[in-house]
A and B are shown apart, each in its own frame.
Chain A
Amino acid sequence: MSSFRAATRPLIANCWKINSKRSFHLSRVCRENAPPPAEGFMPGLARSKLLKHTHEEALKNPELVDTGVVGGETKKMNLLQGVNDAMCIALATDETAVIFGEDVSFGGVFRCTLGLAEMFGKDRVFNTPLSEQGIVGFGIGMASVGHTAIAEIQFADYIFPAFDQLVNEAAKYRYRSGNEFSIGGLTVRSPSSAVGHGGHYHSQMPEAYFAHTPGLKIVIPRSPIQAKGLLLASIRDPNPVIFFEPKVLYRAAAEQVPTGDYELPLGKAEVLKRGKDVTVVGYGSQIYTLETAIQMAEKNISGLSCELIDLRTILPWDIDTVAKSVDKTGRLVIAHEAPKTAGFGAEIAASVMERCFLRLESPIQRVCGWDTPFPLVFEKFYLPDVTRCFEAIKKAVEY
């Protein structure tokens, strides 16, 4: 495999070109009386301080120091271009790597695979018949003989026909064979989360179902830099990884992204903002809601300082970073879009209670979707929005 990688490395330089050469046909200018784009809007994102708008800001990230991209170029990319770039590099550096799923050949319904079939050939980037269990099972098979399979499930809401393949096969492949076999080459990408008009079946965030499955890794990026580095790490990680991409960020989140080959660590949370009074934990697009809620809280409660943590990897999750923060602040707010009952927030809350019991100064607050299916017309009332996150921070600090 290493010889494959060395031989194909010059191809990486061409990866970015497919993005710049071809325009993403679905991108539209927002105007009055226009339909919402398929991937929705994310208000407040434009003002976020978490996105790196300059070359210098982008490369200041200490996690990039040893990756070799620090002296290199950056380009403005949105999240879907970051994902596209990561896959382009993955295919250029690994001759066994393939990408497949429903409609990926023409670029995918969200355009994440645009240009890749033309660049790498139809035998490496291809449409499959419409069967999620088939897609994941096929990927497991490729990985079982040492190849790299990057599978796309068109929407996270449609991953459930593949539940058996993921939970009973992918997750247990290594363990059940006494480590003789593994399918670490499998990565399953899937667009997830709310978009403003997705209703029951184009909005769900199913991370908690899979978080209950030892053997899987689950990753959720918040930005283009993160998406590219985490996806490359996921593809190359020797374990099966499910990579949920918050689709509302596909076009809305843009930043300067290193064009080179780099990975960001799995299993590591990132402290996005230091603070001393309350720890606020989230992941994916929820991070921007939390950023705004923190700004509101710090403006409204004098002297308040909040610490914001992006979990990034849901399984295995970085309890050390969270517990260290709560040991300092004594308070914890967790937010996610999925329903509250048995959501991943419950796991975080229980673990932090075990680790930080004597340091806790107020009850841990969970701000989540309600325990209902995802409701189209009530979305604004269902989501853990800025108001509810703000209120939870307030409740935690004023207890």
Chain B
Amino acid sequence: MDAIPTYRVMDKEGKVLVPEEEPKVTEEFATKIYKDMVTLNTMDLILYEAQRQGRISFYMTNYGEEAFISCGAALDPSDVIFGQYRESGILLYRGFTLDEFMSQCYSNEKDHGKGRQMPVHYGSKKLNFQTISSPLATQIPHASGAAYALKRAGKKNCVMCFFGDGAASEGDFHAALNFAATMQCPVIFFCRNNGFAISTPADEQYKGDGIASRGIGYGIDTIRVDGNDVWAVYNVTKAARQLAVDEHRPVLIEALTYRVGHHSTSDDSSAYRSKKEAETWMRYDNPITRLRKWLHNKGWWNDETETKYRADIRKEILKSFSKAEKLHKPSLTELFNDVYDKPTPNLIAQRKELKEIIQKYPANYPLADFKNGGEDL
């Protein structure tokens, strides 16, 4: 059997391969996507470095996977998103502010998650982006369930769910696809196939024709796309959305890309692949460069706007970064809140117990780092 083909719109040089596939977008629309890609990349560089300096505890970069921002552009803002952890770009596109990113990474009092989760575990009710959790693939069946609920509510919306090639080995992935197919859920499954699950290369992760072939097995409309091609990703997401919303058909998209960065700041990928391999990839094919060349060809972007935007956004990110660094950690009382809708008797008793210990031994705890010095526990 032939391999499932890969849908592309532009080549590595940003040249359109099939003119009728080029999306009819405005300058403003296209440059917003590009600017967000550059912002994401700049933010990654700064926060990665901040982790190396011990200023934040952890970070995961999106290097090489910036093109997925265009998924955000193809969706309606009220469509629900379930991410894995490398989808910061879509949040950025939807309007998550630099301050919101920085506050989460700094676990400060303005973090939506109240400092409880590791950096990059973003979430925003306002932006219909469900909060990230570290376990892999657990979000995929959630997406099927949420999509079924949207359908029942008669909404003209879909759910989009992101995960990696590694996560597709978990049972949750298979259950989710089968549920979505049998219950005709308006959901788009988007596999970011970047070639690695931490150190494990794709050829040790699965056999057969990639993740896409699994969708076909479950009776789901499936397409494979060049994940470094912003317009290809945009087009397939848009078409998938239409199938999901209008016909209640789930869709699987397998986007082929390459994880240029380490898995996370806890990982040193030189232990299992050569540094050269990643560098070569970056030079050979970079989604940001591709779109920039496309914009150049259109006359919508030039070297001057490039230099200016990069300098401006870097300044803005650093400003937001130092602002977040200066803020207090959340109030200590947040340790006990939100386990349930209301504190239960055991939690009330434990809060009191901690309060007494802190009052007795204040010097043993870093109280000054927290909002109100721990007074409101």
Contacts and interface: CB of A to CB of B under 8 A. Distances in A.
Interface in B19-58: 51-54, 57-58
B117 A199 contact: yes
Interface in B139-183: 166-167, 169-172
Contacts of A26: 268
A129 interface: yes
A271 interface: no
A172 to B, nearest CB: 20
Nearest to A126: B204
B135 A201 contact: yes
A161 B346 CA distance: 28
B336 A370 contact: yes
B204 A377 contact: no
B206 A381 contact: no
Given A201-B134, A381-B335, A375 B54 contact: no
Secondary structure class of chain B's binding surface, majority of residues: loop
B235 interface: no
B213 interface: no
A161 B140 CA distance: 14
What range describes how many residues of A lie at the interface? 35 or more
A105 interface: yes
A130 B136 contact: yes
A35 B52 contact: yes
A109 interface: yes
Given A375-B116, A380-B365, A387-B361, A103 B200 contact: yes
Contacts of B286: none
Contact of A388 (B58, B118, B133, B357): B357
B54 A202 contact: no
A256 to B, nearest CB: 28
Contacts of B339: 371-373
A258 B135 CA distance: 37
Interface in A198-232: 198-202
A136 B200 CA distance: 18
Interface stretch (B64-72, B252-260, B326-334): B326-334
Given A102-B200, A340-B350, A373-B116, A36 B54 contact: yes
B199 interface: yes
Contact of A370 (B57, B136, B204, B350): B350
A26 B135 CA distance: 23
B272 interface: yes
A341 interface: yes
A377 B111 CA distance: 11
B54 A197 contact: no
A392 to B, nearest CB: 10
A361 interface: no
Contacts of B289: none
Interface string A373-387: 101111011100111
Contacts of B205: 129-130
A200 B117 contact: yes
A185 interface: no
A370 B335 contact: yes
Contact of A33 (B53, B58, B346, B354): B53
B107 interface: yes
B171 A109 contact: no
Nearest to A378: B335
Contacts of B17: none
Given A26-B268, A105-B199, A381-B332, A202 B117 contact: no
A202 B198 contact: no
B110 to A, nearest CB: 12
A201 B133 contact: yes
A130 B170 contact: yes
Nearest to A39: B266
Interface in A338-384: 340-341, 370-373, 375-378, 380-382
Contacts of A109: 198-199, 266-267
Secondary structure class of chain A's binding surface, majority of residues: loop
A384 to B, nearest CB: 11
A200 B134 contact: yes
B197 interface: yes
B339 to A, nearest CB: 5
Interface in A108-131: 109, 127, 129-131
Contacts of B336: 370, 372
A341 B346 contact: yes
Interface string B244-273: 000000000000000000000111101110
Contacts of B134: 157, 199-202
A69 interface: no
A252 to B, nearest CB: 16
B318 interface: no
A105 B204 CA distance: 11
Contact of A129 (B198, B206, B265): B206
B197 A102 contact: yes
A200 B357 CA distance: 24
Interface in A13-35: 25-26, 33-35
Q: Which of A38, A133, A198, A378 has the most CB of B within 10 A?
A: A378
Nearest to A199: B118
Contacts of B330: 377
Contacts of B346: 340-341, 371
A370 B349 CA distance: 10
Interface string B341-377: 0001011001000100110110011100000000000
B306 to A, nearest CB: 31
B166 A371 contact: no
A284 interface: no
B121 interface: yes
B115 interface: yes
A385 B272 CA distance: 38
A391 interface: yes
Given A36-B54, A160-B135, A378-B335, 15 more contacts: A33-B53, A34-B52, A34-B54, A106-B199, A109-B199, A129-B200, A132-B170, A161-B172, A201-B134, A202-B134, A372-B339, A372-B347, A373-B116, A381-B365, A385-B364
29 contacts: A25-B270, A35-B51, A35-B53, A35-B57, A36-B54, A102-B197, A103-B197, A105-B204, A106-B272, A109-B199, A127-B200, A129-B169, A129-B200, A130-B136, A134-B169, A158-B135, A158-B136, A161-B170, A161-B171, A372-B335, A372-B347, A373-B339, A375-B115, A376-B116, A376-B118, A378-B115, A378-B332, A381-B332, A381-B335
**7 nearest CB pairs, A to B:** A377-B115, A201-B134, A129-B169, A197-B57, A130-B166, A38-B266, A199-B118
Interface of B: 51-54, 57-58, 107, 115-118, 121, 133-136, 166-167, 169-172, 197-200, 204-206, 265-268, 270-272, 329-330, 332, 334-336, 339, 344, 346-347, 350, 354, 357-358, 360-361, 364-366
